[in-house]
Structures are given as C-alpha cells and as structure tokens.
C-alpha cells in the first residue's frame, strides 16, 4: 500500500514540473552559479587570494547548502506542496478511498526524502565542479591527508547532517499543514521558526553546553564539523557533540511526525 502511494506521490511531483524544480532543482543550480561567480571574483578581481584549490572540501561544503534557514525555503516549499497540496486542491476524499491515512502520510514523507536526497547530492556535485574550476584557474590542488574511506565517511556525515535537518523541517511543515489545512501556513511558520532558532542559538556555536544541540541548526552543524575534522579540516567547537546532535535530530523528526500523524488520523476530512 505504501509503495503504491509512493509511486503516486512521485508521479505528482514529476507532473508538477515547475514547482518541483523550484523546490528541489533550483538549489543545485544556485550552488553551481554562486560558486562560479565566487571563483571569478577570487581569481580575476581579488587576485588569487588562496594559492591552492580544495575540490573535496568544496563538495563537502556543497552538502551543507540547505543548512541555513533562508536556503531551506526551497525545501520548505517542496514539503508544503507535498503535505498541504491535498488541502489546497481539496483532494483528500479522493486520495483516501484507495490508501489509508498512515500509509499515505508515510509515502509523502518518503517522496520528500527521495527528492531532497537527490537535491543534496546534486549540490555536492555542483560544488565539486566549482572545486575543479578552481583547480584549473589556480593550477594547484590540495587533497585531504586521509584515506578514501575517511573521505567517504566525512561526506556521509555531511550529507546526513543536512538531510536530517531537512527531514525535521519537513516534519514540522507536515504538522503545521495538518493543523492549519493550508500550504502557506506551513511555509511561513517553518521559515519563521527556523530563523528564530538560528537567532536564539547564536551562543550555541561556542560549543560550550550540550543543551544547544536541541536546536536543529546546531545539531546539524555539530555533525558537519565532525565530518570536516575527519577529512583533515580545522577543529570545530561543536564536533564533540556530533552523535548527540544526530540523536537530537532523529528525536525531533519522530516527535513532530508522530504529532502530525496523530492529529491527521483523527481529522475530519469530509470537506477536503
């Protein structure tokens, strides 16, 4: 039942091309375009500030493209389309004649997970391309002083950090859409909440107290810093809280998803 519902959700995304592009396809192009502009500025305007290029560190940084609240807006819009679209177009009655409520919400979350995973990986590839452009302009590249396994694990940690952040965001959007029955509310509430979390957790970047990893942005940053250190990068103040940060993100995802599903299964959808 979930597989059939997932196919339906992926089909809807494939047919809604422009919305899907802006939600999941724009950020990789943005990462590539901004990277090219940065390289042009560094090499032709500022005069080669750095004497070397680091393509693999660029790709690791690309996996963090969605980490800041403002850059999560595209993913937030995608989640709102997936979870709030049925309310917007009043199609719940038709959809629920074929699939139960829990499986259809699980399928929607899986569809978002697949779409955001592809988008994240493309962001990493985009920044890797930027790194190789930097190599061509600089004429010299530096590589991490670690084995390929450590490089792969560092990238996996970088991917996991932003992926878990986006899944928490999607769960929050799902909860707001269920409560408000509106796509717009899901977008606005999620973005404002993320911005508020970043402002409230500024001190958390000092890495002095474990309690700060309860903020999703700090938890994700802890994982990213640990991955950067694993690849021979600079020490990070939050790196010691990496696994606690991952646990916090999983906890938030479970709590928000469970709350949304509990409300949805009891919701009167006779008019949707």
Domain ranges of the chain: 2-265
Summarised one tens digit per residue, pLDDT across range 127-147 is 999 999 999 988 888 999 999
pLDDT given at position 162: 98
pLDDT band at 43, cuts 50/70/90? confident
Higher per-residue pLDDT: 91 or 120: 120
Query: Is the confidence at residue 47, as pLDDT, over 70?
Result: no
> Taking a C-beta distance cutoff of 8 angstroms, is the pair 251, 220 a contact?
no
pLDDT band at 94, cuts 50/70/90? confident
Summarised one tens digit per residue, pLDDT across range 166-224 is 999 999 999 999 999 999 999 999 999 999 999 999 988 888 889 999 999 999 999 99
The alpha carbon torsion through 174, 190, 227, 255 (nearest 10 deg) reads -40
pLDDT given at position 96: 85
Percent of the chain residues past pLDDT 70, beyond the cut: 98
Q: Give the Cα separation of 235 and 68 in Å (integer).
A: 21
pLDDT given at position 52: 77
């Amino acid at each position: 039942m979930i597989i059939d519902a997932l196919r339906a959700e992926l089909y809807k995304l494939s047919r809604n091309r422009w919305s899907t592009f802006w939600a999941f396809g724009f950020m990789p192009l943005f990462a590539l375009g901004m990277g090219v502009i940065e390289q042009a500025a560094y090499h032709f305007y500022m005069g080669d500030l750095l004497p070397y290029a680091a393509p693999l560190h660029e790709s690791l940084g690309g996996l963090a493209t969605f980490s800041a609240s403002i850059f999560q807006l595209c993913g937030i819009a995608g989640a709102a389309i997936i979870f709030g679209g049925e309310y917007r177009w009043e199609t719940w009655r038709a959809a629920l004649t074929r699939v139960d409520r829990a499986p259809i919400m699980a399928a929607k979350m899986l569809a978002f997970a697949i779409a955001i995973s592809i988008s994240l990986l493309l962001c990493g590839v985009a920044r890797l391309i930027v790194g190789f452009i930097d190599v061509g302009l600089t004429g010299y590249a530096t590589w991490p002083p670690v084995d390929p396994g450590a490089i792969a694990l560092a990238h996996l940690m970088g991917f996991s950090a932003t992926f878990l952040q986006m899944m928490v965001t999607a769960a929050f959007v799902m909860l707001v859409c269920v409560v408000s029955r509106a796509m717009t509310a899901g977008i606005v509430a999620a973005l404002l909440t993320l911005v508020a979390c970043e402002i409230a957790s500024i001190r958390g970047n000092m890495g002095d107290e474990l309690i700060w990893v309860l903020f999703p942005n700090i938890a994700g940053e802890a994982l990213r810093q640990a991955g950067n250190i694993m690849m021979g990068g600079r020490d990070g103040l939050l790196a010691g809280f990496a696994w606690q940060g991952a646990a916090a993100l999983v906890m938030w995802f479970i709590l928000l998803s469970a709350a949304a599903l509990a409300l949805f299964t009891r919701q009167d959808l006779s008019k949707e």
